[in-house]
Each structure stands twice: as C-alpha cells, then as structure tokens.
C-alpha cells in the first residue's frame, strides 16, 4: 500500500495536523502536472496533452524523460479500477510502437518551441538518438482503492512497467498543498522492464553521409586556427578519443563542433585518419606533410608506442569560420566522442541553412 503523507503545523509548540480536502477536480490535477510534471518526482517534459489515439481515445498526458523514455500519465477520474488499468494498458500498446517521427509530430504540435530546444531547456542536454526505448505507465489518482493497488501490483510482478500515484489535497487557511504517494517506490525495485520488455529503440535514420566531429580547441593544445587554415580535424590524448576519428570514411561530410562554442565548419574528408607525423593536407592543390606546417597549437606528433598520440584527417572545407563566429542553438546535437554519425534532423536542417549547404 502507498504510504500516506501527513502534514502538521506547529502552533506554539503544539503540532496540529492539516486535514485532507477534496481536490476541486482531477482536471485541476492534470493541469498542475502539465505545468510542472516534476510533481511526480523526476524531471519530465510533457510533449502532449489529450493526445488522440487511432482508436478515438485520448491520453491525458504524454511525457518524456532525459533518457528518451515515454511516460503515459492517465488520471483515474471516475473510472473503475478495471477501466482505468485496461485503458492505460491500451494506451501503452499504442505508444510503445511510436517511431521517432510520430513522437516528434506529437511533441511539435503541443510545444511552443521545437522539440529539441524544449528538451534541452528541461534536461540541459540534447535528446538521445534513440527515443521510446522503454515505456512507463502511471495511473494518477486523488484516491487509490484497494482493487487498483492489487491489479497494479500483480501486473508489475510480470514486468509490466506500470505504477500508481495518488495526490492528497490539504488546506491551511489561505494556503493549499499537494502531497504525493507512490504505490511502489524506486527503492522497492523496478518492474524489470529493462531486461524483460525492453524493445529496440526508435532511432533517427542515418543518411549515410553526415558525421559529427568534436574539435577540442584549448590553450596549450590543438588550435582551431590550424584546422581551419590547413584543412584537417584531429583527436588524441588516448585511444578512446582517437578511435572514433579513425572510423571516419573518405568522402564523409563532417560538421565540426568546438565544445562550449558551437559549430564552426562543414567539409568533406579526403583520407582516412593517420598518426599526426604521417598525416597529409592539401595546400595549393598538392599534398604536404601536416607536421611540417607552421602550426599554432601543440600536438602529440611522435609515435613511440603511446596510445595518446594525435591522429589527423584531411578535410576540404565547404565553409569554416573562426571560433568567435561559432553557431549554436539550444537542442543542437553534441557528443563526447571525437566523431560519430550525425542523425538529428533538427541540427542538420539548421546547420545546412546556416552554412548554406544545398542537399542534392
């Protein structure tokens, strides 16, 4: 059973319990959650309210968390326990098959900002490549009866990602309070959905061409003025950093981002990555050793068996700008890897417009 939360006011050293009252309506509770879904105990972004399903029913609230999991929030209202549980399971059967495009369509119809921008404002990071990897079903009620508790607990035993939460409404003169109780808390264990009902995620399709490259411009290390002038990207300091750069194929279109600043260039790779001392760049139409150029930055050029050596990839720039002209918007894709496939349409669309790249 959920643990009831009591609230007392201390008057002159004497505790006086506040009496629970009836919430004016569960529609008010829906609006409270739509405005601030953190009332449920975690940061969520509401991406839909009264979302119509193909079966003519309406999901009260559809939200997403920082990991890309979708949350179906259904208010009990005046439904019987059997009705509300059957309904949220029906909703879950539809939501679990939503692909990325469908999720973005729902979100962009509800939100006043582009989905990617709204996501970053809430979670301070760009959305993951995969959305809807897992699902959470939550029955929200102002009064939770024993039958509902038993049904939800039974389903959880079989790995169904369902839980129930109820809110108590309390008044203290002119002040009003909401108190929340979960049927099953996180400390009591998960439903096991990650191992039993985890599905293949809904990942954005990759166009087979665009790559994200992180160029770590910093004092005492590599310098973007070199990369821009001589046409290359590089990474080093450990195998983890250079490994993804070495995966870049010839002919890849790379979008270069300087962490903390933004995107500064787009171009096409001319060769696979090589150790810095062996790398070549194109200067005046001819190949030239990169290590022999007048470089402003410092690079690990010697190959002495150390995994920390720098690797470089020559690039023909379509456009490259100084750090001071870096382009960034909330919701843009960023990644800790030195290079990875760039799938996010929001970022690609904005970058293509900004850098005047025309698609074939």
pTM over 0.95: no
Domain with CATH 3.40.1350.10 in the chain: 8-203
**pLDDT (tens digit, 0 to 9) for every residue of the chain, 360 residues total?**
455 566 787 877 788 787 666 666 667 888 889 998 988 888 999 999 999 999 899 999 999 999 999 999 998 866 666 788 899 999 999 999 999 999 999 999 999 999 999 999 999 888 888 899 899 999 988 776 777 788 888 898 888 999 988 787 777 777 777 777 777 765 454 444 443 334 445 677 888 999 999 999 888 899 999 999 999 999 988 888 898 999 999 999 999 999 999 999 999 999 999 999 999 999 999 999 999 999 999 998 766 566 788 999 999 999 999 999 999 999 999 988 999 999 999 999 999 999 999 765
SS3 content of the chain, % helix, strand, coil (to 5): 30, 30, 40
Distance CA 78, CA 110 (A): 26
H runs (alpha helix) in 73-131: 81-95, 100-110, 115-123
Q: Does domain 8-203 have CATH number 3.40.1350.10?
A: yes
- Chain region(s) in the chain for CATH 3.10.590: 210-354
Fold of 210-354: ph1033 like fold (3.10.590)
DSSP state of 125: S
Q: Token pair of 319, please?
A: 């456009």
DSSP 325: G
């Amino acid at each position: 059973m959920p643990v009831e939360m009591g609230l007392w006011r201390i008057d002159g050293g004497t505790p006086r319990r506040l009496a629970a009252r009836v919430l004016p309506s569960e529609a008010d509770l829906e609006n409270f959650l739509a405005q601030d879904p953190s009332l449920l105990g975690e940061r969520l972004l509401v991406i839909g309210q009264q979302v119509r399903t193909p079966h003519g029913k309406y999901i009260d609230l559809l939200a997403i968390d920082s990991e890309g999991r979708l949350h179906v929030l259904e208010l009990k209202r005046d439904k019987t326990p059997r009705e509300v549980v059957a309904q949220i399971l029906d909703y879950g059967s539809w939501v679990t098959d939503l692909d990325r495009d469908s999720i973005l369509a729902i979100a962009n119809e509800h939100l006043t900002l582009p989905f990617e921008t709204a996501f970053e404002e809430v979670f301070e990071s760009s959305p993951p490549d995969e959305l809807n990897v897992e699902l959470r079903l939550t029955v929200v009620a102002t009064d939770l009866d024993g039958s509902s508790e038993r049904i939800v607990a039974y389903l959880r035993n079989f790995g169904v990602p369902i839980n129930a939460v109820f809110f108590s409404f309390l008044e203290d003169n002119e002040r009003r309070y909401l108190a929340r109780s979960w049927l099953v808390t996180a400390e009591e264990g998960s439903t096991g959905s990650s191992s039993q009902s985890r599905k293949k995620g809904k990942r954005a399709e990759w166009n087979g061409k665009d790559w994200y490259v992180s160029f770590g411009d910093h004092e005492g290390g590599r310098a973007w003025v070199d990369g821009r002038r001589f046409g290359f990207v590089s990474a080093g300091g450990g195998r983890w950093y250079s490994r993804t750069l070495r995966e870049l194929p010839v002919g890849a279109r790379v979008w270069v981002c300087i962490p903390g600043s933004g995107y500064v260039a787009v171009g096409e790779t001319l060769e696979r990555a090589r150790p810095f001392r062996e790398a070549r760049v194109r200067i005046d139409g001819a190949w030239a050793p990169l290590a022999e150029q007048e470089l402003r930055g410092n690079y690990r050029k010697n190959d002495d068996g150390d995994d920390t050596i720098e690797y470089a990839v020559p690039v023909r720039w379509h456009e490259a700008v100084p750090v001071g002209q870096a382009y960034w918007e909330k919701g843009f894709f960023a990644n800790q890897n030195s290079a990875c496939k760039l799938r996010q349409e929001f970022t690609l669309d904005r970058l293509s417009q900004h850098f005047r790249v025309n698609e074939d």
